[in-house]
Amino acid sequence: MKKEEEEEPLTSKAIIKEVISVILNVLICFLVVFLITQFVGQRTVVSGRSMEDTLQDRDNLIVDKISYRFHDPNRFDVIIFPHDESGIGGEEKDTFYIKRVIGLPGETVRIDGSGNIYINDILLEETYGTEVMANPGMASNEMILGPDEYFVLGDNRNNSTDSRMIGPINRDIIVGKAWLRVYPFKSFGLVDNIE
């Protein structure tokens, strides 16, 4: 006998079981995607030049949302936080800022007229800023960070809206750490999060 003749026609009960199975599989997939994007990681796209040379306009990144559930951000981490909760205001609800952590909770931050950054009156040795900072902003005076506050800067210091203009960023609005650059493919790799 041919194979076609051996197969029995599907009953309505079997069809219903198959449809329910497909629906359940689709729902499980949506649930997994939702849980991953809510608690594990999410994709974001860099818009602007404030993090050049580390990140370029239109770089596609994966944000690690798990790490900061277990520990606080470290100095020089590249963090993501929502635009609408940063105090800058004005843009789309789902817009995020990407900046580098410079000052940690409890520290005193000051930037002198030459663009040198001081943490607790000690010159910060860092190489992320691509040029001399022209405007120290409100950090020209000492800024004492609260217990959950971070001082953040863009790497392209003269083309960045950051803590010099808007003040410190609260810990509770930090979404995560920029972890992996996935596009453009020629730049695929881990984001520079260490000194």
CATH of the domain at 120: 2.10.109.10
Higher pLDDT, 86 or 56: 56
Whether 185 is covered by a domain: the verdict is: yes
| Pairing label, strands 143-144, 122-123 | unpaired
Out of 86, 99, 160, 163, which one is annotated catalytic? 99
**Domain contains 32:** no
Does a structural domain hold residue 70?
yes
CA distance 195 to 192: 8
Mark whether 50 is an active-site residue: yes
| Enclosing domain of residue 44 | 40-190
Model pLDDT for residues 174-185, shown as the tens digit of each residue: 989 988 888 778
Whether residue 13 is contained in a domain is answered as no
At residue 7, the pLDDT reads 56
pLDDT band at 113 (very low <50, low <70, confident <90, very high): confident
pLDDT(20) > 80:
yes
- On whether residue 14 sits in a domain, the answer given is no
The CA distances from residue 92 to 79, 84, 85, 89, in Å, are 19, 7, 11, 9
Q: Which residue has the higher pLDDT, 9 or 126?
A: 126
3-class state of residue 152 by DSSP: strand
Report the C-alpha gap between 18 and 12 in whole angstroms: 10
Could you tell me if residue 34 is inside a domain? no
Query: Domain total for the chain?
Result: 1
The answer to whether residue 114 is catalytic is no
Is 98 within the bounds of a domain?
yes
The predicted model scores a pTM of: 0.76
Residue range 160-169: average pLDDT? 90
23 falls within a domain: no
Residue 77 has pLDDT above 50, yes or no: yes
The chain-wide mean pLDDT, for the chain, equals 82
Instruction: Choose the catalytic residue: 2, 17, 47, 50.
Output: 50
pLDDT of residue 8: 57
